[in-house]
Amino acid sequence: MRPCLPPAPLKPGDLLRVITPSGALREMEAFHLGVEIWRSHGYRVEVPPHIDKRWGYLAGTDLERRSQFAEAWNDPTCRGILCARGGYGGSRLLEEWNWGTAEPKWLIGFSDITSLLWGLAQQGISGVHGPVLTTLCVEPDWSVERLIHCVEGKPLSPLKGDGWGGGTAKGLLLPANLTVATHLLHTPLQPDLNGVILALEDVMEAPYRIDRMLTQWRMSGLLSQVRGIALGRFSQCDAPQHIPSFSVEGVLSDRLSDLGIPVVSDLPFGHDGSNAALPVGIPVWLDGDRGILSFEGE
């Protein structure tokens, strides 16, 4: 994976455009609160018409969502793109997509937005794995401030988690939702994983499904290429009641602790809790002994 360059820093007064690349928008109150948070920091936020459009579980047809994304991406007055929510559908947009020669701009989201962030990283452009508009209103103040600092080009503080050992490694940060990333493996959207610090989170996946995905990563040989693994929150991943199971923590330990690389768990990013902004494709240090993910230039 080549290092990604961040777009030019944002500043209050810049225009940000909203897109719905994935699931149909349902959380309207949370969505509008998220928009107002960006506006309260001085940004102009443009919400497209028919934001609540639906086509099955998607926020409109592929053509409609792709056209919405293309309009925002190719708009020379737009400096950043805010994803309304995740869900499913982002990868469908990239089946017939051309990034073209538009000026790089910030792309912000997580969960299903993994596909768009990875596609952008393949162009050598850094996006932000961070809160979507429907989750921004429940972020603690420090997390909102961190997101603003990230897009404004200010230093990011280290994140503290639970170190599993393995020493220290430097690599390019590649955040992802585990489920979405697993379905991007061996497609043109998968970056070269040699030398990356892989940052993973997930939600509503039973332990055996987490096991199945990580086993696929192991058997494909991809985990032998990464330099370290940073684990965020695996929320609502409890085993069904009355069915014999490992815990999700047990599965993560079983599948990752023998890789001989730094691993840090319980970092504050992912669903159902604070979701610290993580820039894609930039150099970071992962200290598996002290449980710290730190960013160059901090």
Q: Can you spell out the DSSP letters for 256-295?
A: HTTSSS-EEE--S-SSSS----EETT-EEEEETTTTEEEE
Sign of CA dihedral 96, 172, 134, 145: negative
Sign of CA dihedral 53, 55, 61, 62: positive
Instruction: Single out the catalytic residue among 139, 201, 205, 265.
Output: 201
Known active-site residue 271:
yes
Q: Which residue is listed with tokens 């959207």? A: 189
First to last CA, the chain: 22
Query: CA torsion angle for 147, 152, 154, 160 (degrees, to 10)?
Result: 10
Q: Can you spell out the DSSP letters for 238-251?
A: PPPTTS----HHHH
Q: Is 168 in contact with 262 (CB distance < 8 Å)?
A: yes
How far is residue 253's CA from residue 247's CA, in Å, rounded to a whole number? 10
Known active-site residue 201:
yes
What are the DSSP E strand ranges found in the chain? 15-19, 44-46, 78-83, 106-109, 128-129, 159-160, 162-163, 168-177, 196-203, 228-235, 263-265, 278-279, 283-287, 292-295
Cβ neighbours, 10 Å, residue 42: 12
Known active-site residue 32:
no
According to DSSP, the β-strands at 168-177 and 263-265 are: unpaired
What Rg, from alpha-carbon coordinates, does the chain have? Answer: 18
Instruction: Single out the catalytic residue among 111, 115, 126, 143.
Output: 111
Instruction: Single out the catalytic residue among 205, 265, 271, 274.
Output: 271
3-state secondary structure of 150: helix
Nearest alpha carbon to residue 127 among 152, 141, 139, 109: 109
The catalytic site residues sit at: 111, 201, 271
